[in-house]
Amino acid sequence: MAKELWEGNAAIAEAAIRAGVEAFFGYPITPQTEVLEHFSKRLPELGRVFLQAESEVASINMVYGAACAGARVMTSSSSPGISLMQEGLSYIACSEVPVVVINIMRGGPGLGNVQPSQGDYFQAVKMAGHGDFHPIVLAPANVQEAIDYVVLAFDLAEKYRTIAMVVADGAIGQMMEPAEMPPMRPVRPPEERPDWALTGAQGREPNIITSLYLGAENLERVNLRLQAKLKEIAANEVRWKEYSTEDADLLLVAFGTVGRVCQTVVREARKAGMKVGLLRPVTLWPFPSGRIAELAEQVRGVLTVEMNAGQMVEDVRLAVEGRCPVRFYGRMGGVIPLPDEILPELEKLDKEC
């Protein structure tokens, strides 16, 4: 299929349609509302389900219900809305039903603003809800990746019966770029829904989907099963991209929008004579700790750049484990760090180590 000009948010919705999404439940919130708007037009014309819910609390529980029924389902929101969904996400994680969630992150805390931000890294990666679980978290840096990772999110969510979250920001969600859509997959017919789904107990024992396990040992067994699955995901699904790392002696680590900015930083730093490489995590969970640890043996220092007060840098430090200095540069409130301010930070690191 040829490249077309796509706005990020509309592209995310269309990619989900191509991936065979059967239902979307959501609530308007800037800067992701175009996702919902695209679905509101396209899903009814395709005979699929679109519903604008009364809140994000309701949308995630509608998603939970549709996922329990075995349908391919998703929702989309932005930071404050994701906070409201955390209750539902925790129930979904324990119930082990596949769900795709998009977070087009905005500046916080509180109502914050609608500018691009990565302030929800901790929320997505460390604590998407109460209790012990991690969603798979994918971070695109451009519209094409947003399309590709939405499709991947459905495949991973269903493979592992888990939550797959795609996190971006308004810069990616509202930017237009040439991108290629995948071909339309057929929608799975209701009679082919998974055998664990709530489809009516016809000629079989009833299926029960719950996140309630009374008794400490009983719930611990469930947790051990969830942890074993997370371990399997961590072993098989780590993804990242590297730029000019072969001969690098300084390493940038950045994801999403600012990961893309750092690709420019690498080029300019090389012109200035610094041997800089970039590792851009694609999965924020599972985190590419192993590869960062390898590179930490090769480089003199690491600079992590984020659009927050320093969240992913904690995972970078855990991966580096003191092998070399790890420094941080970040902007908050919706400010995107630019090459002109990142380069001096690299120069400082260059002199320091």
Partner 1 sequence: MATVEIPEDMELVFKYPESLTERHTHYCPGCTHGIIHRLIAEVIDELGVRERTIGIAPVGCSVLAYYYFNMDFAEAAHGRAPAMATGIKRVSPDRVVFTYQGDGDLAAIGTAEIIHAANRGELITTIFVNNAIYGMTGGQMAPTTLPGQVTTSSPTGRDVETAGWPMHMAELIGILPGAAYVTRQAVLDVPGIRRTKKAIKLAFQTQLAGLGFSMVEVLSTCNTNWHMGPVEALEWAKEHMVSYYPLGDTKMTDEVRALKEGK
Which residues would be at the binding site for partner 1 (CB under 8 A)? Answer: 22-23, 25, 49, 51, 53-55, 57-59, 61-71, 73, 87-88, 91, 190, 198-203, 206-212
Give the number of other CB atoms < 10 A from CB of residue 49.
17
Q: What SS3 state is found at 166?
A: strand
Q: C-alpha distances in angstroms, 296 versus 247, 250, 327? A: 13, 9, 13
Q: Which of 86/263 has CB closer to partner 1? A: 86
Q: Which of 83/298 has CB closer to partner 1? A: 83
Q: Which of 65/80 has CB closer to partner 1? A: 65
Task: Give, as one character, the DSSP assignment of residue 116.
Answer: B
**What's the min distance (Å) between Cβ of 209 and partner 1?**
5
Measure the CA–CA gap between 319 and 252, rounded to whole angstroms.
14
Half-sphere exposure at residue 231, Cβ-oriented, CA atoms within 13 angstroms: 6
**What's the min distance (Å) between Cβ of 20 and partner 1?**
13
Q: What SS3 state is found at 302?
A: strand
**What's the min distance (Å) between Cβ of 162 and partner 1?**
18
Q: Which of 22/315 has CB closer to partner 1? A: 22
What is the H or E stretch that residue 176 is in? strand 176-179
**What's the min distance (Å) between Cβ of 8 and partner 1?**
26
* Closest C-alpha to 13, from 193, 159, 237, 168: 168
Q: What is the DSSP string of 323-344?
A: SS-EEEEE--TTPPP-HHHHHH
Residue 179 backbone dihedrals phi, psi, to 5 degrees: -155, 160
Q: Which tokens sit at 15?
A: 């990619």
Q: What SS3 state is found at 171?
A: helix
The one-letter amino acid at 269: A
Q: Which of 51/335 has CB closer to partner 1? A: 51
279 - beta bridge partners? 242, 253
**What's the min distance (Å) between Cβ of 282 and partner 1?**
30
Q: What is the DSSP string of 26-66?
A: E---TTSHHHHHHHHHHHHHTT-EEEE-SSHHHHHHHHHHH
Q: Which of 13/171 has CB closer to partner 1? A: 13
Cβ burial of 137 (10 Å; 0-12, 13-18, 19+) is buried
Q: Which tokens sit at 282?
A: 């694609």
Q: Which of 211/244 has CB closer to partner 1? A: 211
Q: Which of 67/114 has CB closer to partner 1? A: 67
**What's the min distance (Å) between Cβ of 11 and partner 1?**
24
**Are 21 and 185 within 8 A, CB to CB?**
no
Q: Which of 66/319 has CB closer to partner 1? A: 66
Q: Which of 71/324 has CB closer to partner 1? A: 71
Give the number of other CB atoms < 10 A from CB of residue 27.
22
**What's the min distance (Å) between Cβ of 181 and partner 1?**
24
**What's the min distance (Å) between Cβ of 203 and partner 1?**
7
